[in-house]
Amino acid sequence: MLNDLKAWQAQRHAELSAPDSWLGMIGLFWLSPGANQVGCHEGAAIQLPDGPEKLGDVIWQGDTLLWQPVVGAAQSLRTDLAGPPSVIDHQNLSFFVVDRDGQLAVRLRDRTWAASRPFGGLAYFDEDPAWRITADWLELSPPLDMAVPNVSGDLLPVTVTHKAVFLVAGQPVELLPMSVGEQEVFFVFRDRTSGKSSYGAGRFLKTKPAVDGKICLDFNYAYNPPCAFTAFATCPLPPAENWLGFPVAAGEQKPVDRHD
Q: What is the pLDDT of residue 38?
A: 98
Q: pLDDT value at position 206? A: 98
Same domain, 238 and 130: yes
pLDDT at 259: 60
Is residue 100 within 8 Å of 29, Cβ to Cβ? no
Q: Measured between alpha carbons, how far is 173 from 169 in angstroms, rounded to an integer?
A: 10
If phi > 0 it is left, if psi is from -120 to 50 it is alpha, else beta; for residue 108 that is beta
**Total domain count, the chain:** 2
Residue 30 lies in a domain: yes
Report yes or no on 217 lying in a domain.
yes
Cα 150 from chain centroid? Answer: 10
Interior/surface letters 221-241, b for 16+ CB within 10 angstroms, e for the rest: bbbbbbbbbbebbbbbbbbee
Note whether 57 and 72 are within 8 A (CB).
no
Position 42 in a domain: yes
Q: What percent of the chain has pLDDT over 90?
A: 86
Q: How many CB atoms lie within 10 A of CB 163?
A: 18
Please check whether residues 89 and 141 belong to one and the same domain: no
What one-character DSSP code corresponds to residue 122?
A: -
> What is the separation of C-alpha 158 from the centre of its chain, rounded to a whole number of angstroms?
16
Residue 257 maps to a domain? no
What is the reported pLDDT for 258?
65
Average pLDDT over residues 191-210: 97
| d(C-alpha 131, C-alpha 12), whole Å | 20
Q: How confident is the model over 53-99, as pLDDT tens digits? A: 999 999 999 999 999 999 999 999 999 998 999 999 999 999 999 99
Q: In whole angstroms, what is the distance from residue 105 CA to residue 233 CA?
A: 11
With 70 as the cut, is the pLDDT of residue 2 above it? no
Q: Which among 216, 197, 192, 186 has a CA at the least distance from the CA of 126?
A: 197
In a domain, 154, yes or no: yes
Are 125 and 236 part of one and the same domain?
yes
Q: The pTM is what?
A: 0.90
Angstrom distance (rounded) from CA 216 to CA 208: 7
Final residue in a domain of this structure, among 100, 115, 130 = 115
Residue 151's pLDDT is 72
Q: Which structural domain, as residue segments, surrounds residue 85?
A: 22-115
Q: How confident is the model at residue 247 (pLDDT cuts 50, 70, 90)?
A: very high
96 and 152 belong to one structural domain: no
Is residue 250 scored above 90 in pLDDT?
yes
pLDDT at 96: 97
Rg (CA), the chain: 20
Q: Which burial class, exposed, middle or buried, applies to 17 when counting CB atoms under 10 A from its CB (0-12, 13-18, 19+)?
A: middle
The reply to whether 166 and 218 lie within a common domain is: yes
108-165 residue pLDDT tens: 999 999 998 889 899 999 999 999 999 999 999 999 999 887 776 677 889 999 999 9
Rounded to whole angstroms, how far apart are CA atoms 44 and 150?
26
Does residue 1 register a pLDDT over 60?
no
pLDDT in tens, 201-237: 999 999 999 999 999 999 999 999 999 999 998 899 9
pLDDT at 107 exceeding the cut of 70: yes
- Give the pLDDT mean for 177-190: 96
